[in-house]
Amino acid sequence: MNREQTAKARSAKAKHEREWLAIDAVSAVGVGVREGEVCIIISVDTNPASLTSTIPAGVDDIPVVVERRGRIEPL
């Protein structure tokens, strides 16, 4: 992973995380790698296609990936 891209992704995540977590279907927001590219990963408990108008495909030149994971509950 490229450290510069990872830092940029973490910064973008921090900037938008509250906004995304306020969406009922969103259960988690993180930074990871998909297809060899650093990205922001948003976990949802619904069909990701239903959120395309709410969650952008990218922010601050960092791709955003929406994945259906189900509800994540704290211990």
* Domains of the chain, first to last: 3-68 (3.30.300)
What pLDDT, in 10s, does the model give residues 43-70? 999 888 888 889 999 999 999 999 998 6
Are the beta carbons of 21 and 40 closer than 8 angstroms?
no
Kindly report the pTM of this predicted structure. Answer: 0.88
**pLDDT in the model for residue 72:** 66
Residue among 9, 8, 5 at smallest CA distance from 42: 9
What pLDDT, in 10s, does the model give residues 3-58? 999 999 999 999 999 999 999 999 999 999 999 999 999 999 988 888 888 999 99
| Residue 5 host element (H or E) | helix 3-21
Are the beta carbons of 29 and 56 closer than 8 angstroms?
no
Backbone dihedral region of 70: left (phi > 0), alpha (psi from -120 to 50 degrees) or beta?
left
